[in-house]
Amino acid sequence: MNRRLLLKALATLAMASGVAGFTTAHASDPIRIGVSAPKTGPLAGGAAVTFWPNVQLWVSEVNKRGGLRMADGSQRPIEMIEYDDRTDPAEAIRNIQRLATTDRADFILAPYGTGLALAAAPIFDRYGYPMINVSAITDQTQTLAQRYERIFFTLGRTTDLAVAVANVLTDMRNAGQIGNKVALVNVADAFGIELAQAARPIFQQNGFDIVFDRSYPPATQDLSPVMRGVKSSNPDAFVAFSYPPDTFALTELAQIENLDVKAFYTAVATPFPSYAGRFGDKINGVLGVGGVNPDSPEFLAYQKAHKEVSGADPDYWASAVTYASFQVLEQAIEGAGGVDRGAVADYIKQNSFETVMGTWTFENQEIQNFWTVGQWQNGKFYGVASTGDLPGAVAPIVRQGW
Amino acid sequence: MEIIVTGIFLGGIYALIAMGLSLQYGVARIMNLASGEMLVAGAFAGFWVYTAQSVSPYVALLIVVPAAFALNWLIYRYLMLPLVRRAKSRGHLEVDSILATFGLSFAMVGIMLAVFGGSFFNYSYLSQPVTLFGSIYGLNRVVAFSVAVLICGLLWYGINYTRHGMAIRAVSVDPDAAGLVAINVTRVSTFAFALGGAVAATGGTLLSTFLTLDASIGIIFTMKALVIVIMGGVGDIRGAIVAALALGLAETFVATVIDPGLTLAAAYLLFILILLFRPQGLFGRRTS
């Protein structure tokens, strides 16, 4: 065991020394921004779609126009210091500490992933860094906002995301589009368990009959027994609070088993371009978590720039929100006119921001209007439900066979 | 019936994953913690061939098998052999090889990350239903299982009924004694290690037809292979196959009849029971 620890330490040292060469370079007094997020480990796949390309895009956009404008009129480019946290909260904390103390970063971007973000929040607070979270979905946002005065949330709360699914299905049922029987599955992980717990009572209150209700462990290699159970319960609607590998597996198995439901919902990764890339038009009418307004000029321009810089399309949910969170930091630094972290945090609380997601204003350190449910319609993933009536929502359609 | 067939399909895939490690650990005495990464590399090849060249991922095997064989030959020859030479005992070699391959796994994750990026890769191949014994199964799983059976069968035949196979078994039983009867132990070990790597990479190509993978997922397969190899008895191909099937059946049974949430618990319960009652593994020999 000691050898393993030693190895871990060595690997970390090797990584740190790789970055050190980068940080000693002295350009025209750049603003140093640190970031620690998964490049390896279970969350790396999601981060590679939603997080890292936006970091790349943001640095490229800001530096292309000369950098961030300071109060004295000078412009300072961004110098990015990147660390891999290997999807390990302990590693994330060490990275943030190193960024704060050794690298002396002016600002640090919030990590990707709820567990990692929550683990890092106390360290951000201790060193006084503003922390604008995106992929940190929890119901504890207000508790955390009271505890840490420079923490912000943008992507939504667990209960709202789960309740919205139940509400969308209730509306469809009341309109006579779907029947009363719902099959519910979830990944046995904090995210899946919380969402299922929040959704279950709403389904029951609305008179739904939950005919199948099971969880499965993360990284299950064969989900066919689950899908077969769903199929034999003969539901009218299927809801899975799932993670990327299982989202893909469940969708494929539903086609193989020919699960003929009028409403089919899977969670994380449903808005990924690779989801459409893999299943083509078969997913028309598939519901998923999140959504955007994919026809808004802001999103179209963002999509184009994202593709040009990173070579890949953004997803239809957290990608644009991630980029918007960087825009908030950018505008707040320029608004405050410098790198005083307290002034930047205050600026975020007191002002509105023009972002790819539209105009953002933080209330109680939180964006209150966010997309909750989306749906694939004709090759694009549209938001169908949001808290606070975001513009561009479309009515959900009933799914027709695979 | 449905449970049995699904369980056997899963077990067949597990057998293929474990077979590579069984050869590498049982014969070449290298506890290869980078086995899962070799598998992911094979999966990447299948993915690349299918998406970029739009030919069947099974065609990729024509390149994957010789390439993985050559790569693992080189790994053994230049990275492992020095460890084998300086090791004073088997235990010593195990510790050294665990450390070396642990490092190798990091290096491979890094290389794959640099070459392919960190995002998920998957594609739909033969994703259509087939009906067997009155139930529906995915064609991609059925085909992958058939290929796995074919490979396991070939290995089993090769090891038990050919002259080369006898040499491999001899080295697996006792490398020193094998040397005394004019078997070139280094050569046989290198061959077994390279073959094991090729089998792991083949498993990856098969898995990529129905699983969603990414560059750093290899460790999950290394763990599974490790459990199966230890359950089956170190160095015994037959044991690995039986253990893999038992694991596949147990997981499917629990997922269908009790709760899908308990599959991991079932797998490890089986593992613990075997360790308690047959610590040398199902077909293992007691170490003297």
CATH number given to A13-157+296-361: 3.40.50.2300
Relative orientation angle of helices A114-126 and A190-205, to the nearest 10 degrees: 110
> Buried b vs exposed e over B161-179: b needs ≥16 C-beta within 10 Å?
eeeebebbbbbbeebeebe
- A chain contacts of residue B252, beta-carbon cutoff 8 Å: 222, 225
**SS3 of A195, please?**
helix
B242's tokens: 């039986």
Strand A263-266, strand A68-69: pairing = unpaired
Q: pLDDT tens for residues A306-318?
A: 999 999 999 999 9
User: Which of A82, A223, A224 is the best residue to mutate to test the B interface, defined by the most B CB atoms within 10 Å of its own CB?
Assistant: A224
Give the angle A97-A100-A103 at the CA atoms, nearest 5°.
110
What is the reported pLDDT for A289? 94
Q: DSSP letters along B64-111, please? A: HHHHHHHHHHHIIIIIIHHHHHH-SSHHHHHHHHHHHHHHHHHHHHHH
- A chain contacts of residue B137, beta-carbon cutoff 8 Å: 224, 256
Nearest by CB to A225, from B99, B214, B260: name it: B260
Relative orientation angle of helices B35-53 and B2-26, to the nearest 10 degrees: 120
Nearest by CB to B124, from A3, A11, A279: name it: A279
Q: Which long-range contacts (CB under 8 A, 24 or more apart) does A276-280 make?
A: A276/A376, A276/A379, A276/A381, A278/A248, A278/B122, A278/B123, A278/B124, A279/A251, A279/A252, A279/A255, A279/B124
- pLDDT for residue A112 is more than 90: yes
Answer for the pair A356, A302: CB distance below 8 angstroms, yes or no: yes
Nearest by CB to A225, from B6, B13, B122: name it: B6
A41's tokens: 């480990």
In this predicted complex, what is the ipTM?
Answer: 0.83
pLDDT along chain B (288 residues), means of 10: 88 90 89 93 89 84 93 94 88 90 93 85 82 85 92 90 91 88 92 94 92 88 91 84 92 88 88 89 69
- pLDDT for residue A38 is more than 50: yes
Gap between the Cα atoms of A377 and B72, Å rounded? 47
Cβ burial, residue A368 (10 Å; 0-12/13-18/19+)? middle
Is the domain B2-277 a CATH 1.10.3470 member?
A: yes
Gap between the Cα atoms of B122 and B46, Å rounded? 10
Q: pLDDT tens for residues A323-336?
A: 999 999 999 999 99
Token pair 């007691």: residue:
B286
Gap between the Cα atoms of A333 and A335, Å rounded? 5
- DSSP E strands, chain B: 129-132, 135-138
A172's tokens: 């469809």
Q: Which residue of B has its CA nearest to A185?
A: B260
User: Which of A222, A253, A402 is the best residue to mutate to test the B interface, defined by the most B CB atoms within 10 Å of its own CB?
Assistant: A222
Answer for the pair A206, A241: CB distance below 8 angstroms, yes or no: no
- pLDDT for residue A15 is more than 70: no
What is the overall mean pLDDT for chain A? 90
Q: Give me the residue spans of the domains in chain A.
A: 13-157+296-361, 158-294+371-386
Token pair 């009028």: residue:
A262
Whether A158-294+371-386 and A13-157+296-361 are alike in CATH topology: the answer is yes
Chain B contacts in chain A segment 70-129 (CB below 8 A): none
CATH number given to A158-294+371-386: 3.40.50.2300
Gap between the Cα atoms of A59 and B19, Å rounded? 47
Q: Which residue of B has its CA nearest to A7?
A: B103
Answer for the pair A158, A118: CB distance below 8 angstroms, yes or no: no
User: Which of A221, A251, A283 is the best residue to mutate to test the B interface, defined by the most B CB atoms within 10 Å of its own CB?
Assistant: A221
Q: Which residues have CB under 8 Å from A101's CB, separation 6+?
A: A127
What is the reported pLDDT for A4? 53
Say if the Cβ atoms of A222 and B124 lie within 8 Å: no
What does the DSSP 8-state code read for residue A295?
T
A25 confidence band (pLDDT: 50, 70, 90): very low
Q: Give me the residue spans of the domains in chain B.
A: 2-277
What does the DSSP 8-state code read for residue A363?
B
Q: pLDDT tens for residues A353-398?
A: 999 999 999 999 999 999 999 999 999 999 999 998 889 999 999 9
**SS3 of A19, please?**
helix
A141's tokens: 């946002």
- How many C-beta atoms lie closer than 10 Å to residue A205's C-beta? 10
